Amino acid sequence: MRVILAEDSTLLREGLVRLLAEEGHEVLAAVGEAESLLKAVAENPPDVVVADVRMPPTHTDEGLRAALEIRERWPRVGVLVLSQYVEKRYATELLTGETEGVGYLLKDRVVQVDEFLDALERVADGRAAFDPEVVRQLLGRTSHTDLLARLTARERAVLAEMAQGHTNAAIARRLHISQSGVEKHINAIFDKLELSGGEGYSRRVLAVLRYLGS
């Protein structure tokens, strides 16, 4: 994969560059602020952009703004946003509009190298990757708890996995159940949440997430 990194902490940026290089990915550019990120993407659009939410000069949400702009101008480029905290507002903003190839991870998730690389690949392929913690908070804070309350514990687990952007096969592997079992759970979830099943995984995932984040 061809990757562009935007992270203001030199330490972390260098670490990510090394990690990606070791994994055989090509880092086209590694920058420290949003302005340079947009410039780098314009010059040479990558498969995926990894951007920190907080970047100079104001350390508020420059990275997120840049990510949204990239989504708009280069829809084919996947965007993985790293955030210090779960910011529901940011997650919701990323979920509005056409959101295939979007990810939102907690920065600390980078430590779980396997998970990070997995998320990066999913986003680059035009799928979604949402941090389990983000999903947990969106599930916990949704205004539709009455509907969620109908779900069984197992269905809830499947929903959480699904919302993170995992495929049915991956969910089956992660929860140690059969793939047909997963499909059964998913249909039950859609029935209970009164969602009409859509086409393809990420759209269903996003429908769920959007529903939860609303």
Positions that interact with another protein (CB under 8 A): 9, 11-12, 15-16, 18-19, 22-23, 59, 84, 107-108, 110-114
Smallest gap from residue 110 Cβ to another protein (A): 6
Q: How far is the CB of 18 from another protein (least distance, A)?
A: 7
CB of 56 to another protein, least distance (A): 11
Q: How far is 35 from 33, CA to CA, in rounded Å?
A: 6
Total residue length of the chain: 214
CA atoms within 13 A on the CB side of 58: 6
The single-letter DSSP state of residue 28 is: E
- Smaller CB distance to another protein: residue 22 or 199? 22
Residue/partner pairs of 181-184 with CB below 8 Å, 24 or more apart: 182/158
Tell me whether residue 42 or residue 113 sits nearer to another protein (CB atom): 113
**Amino acid identity of 163?**
A
Residue 23 has which token pair?
A: 């994994």
Q: Which is nearer to another protein, 13 or 204 (CB)?
A: 13
Q: How far is the CB of 37 from another protein (least distance, A)?
A: 19
Q: Which is nearer to another protein, 23 or 72 (CB)?
A: 23
